[in-house]
Amino acid sequence: MKISTKGRYALRMMIDLALHQGSGYVALKDIAKRQDISKKYLEQIVPLLNKAELLKTNRGYQGGYALSKPPEKYTVGEILRVTEGSLSPVACLQYEENSCPRKPDCVTLPIWEGLYKVVNEYLDGITLRDIIDTNL
């Protein structure tokens, strides 16, 4: 499993919004500048976060983005799943039901299931609040 730039930047954007949540709606250009990320790249990430209802949007003067819920309600795992899809280490675990024809005879499946479980538990155990409280 490798987290893409999209996933890493989405997480940085969400952390930035959590840090500036008292400022009302935050302009994308301000996030881009603070995080040293292209505004164009952030514009590609925003629709994914909007569709998952992780952001509130305000258009026009004083427009921008804000978190749709408190920082303690977001997990790193949730944000990464929105941008990355599954966090599965192997293709056969990407979907709810493992339909691999080798499943009954696969001696390595328990290894991948264990890794998947550890990764999800770890990432779902870290909230945006945890990150901002730890790094301030």
Name the residue range of residue 71's domain. Answer: 5-134
Q: pTM for the complete prediction?
A: 0.90
CATH code where residue 97 lies: 1.10.10.10
DSSP string, 70-117: -GGG-BHHHHHHHHHS---SSGGGSSSS---TTGGG-SSHHHHHHHHH
Q: Are 15 and 80 in contact, with CB atoms under 8 Å apart?
A: no
pLDDT digits (tens, 9 = 90+) for 29-41: 999 999 999 999 9
Q: How many domains does the chain have?
A: 1
Amino acid in position 41? Y
Residue 132 is predicted with a pLDDT of 94
d(CA 77, CA 126): 8
pLDDT digits (tens, 9 = 90+) for 66-101: 999 999 999 999 999 999 988 988 888 888 888 888
Of the pLDDT bands very low, low, confident and very high (cuts 50, 70, 90), residue 102 is confident
Q: Which of 94, 71, 90, 56 is nearest to 11 (CA)?
A: 71
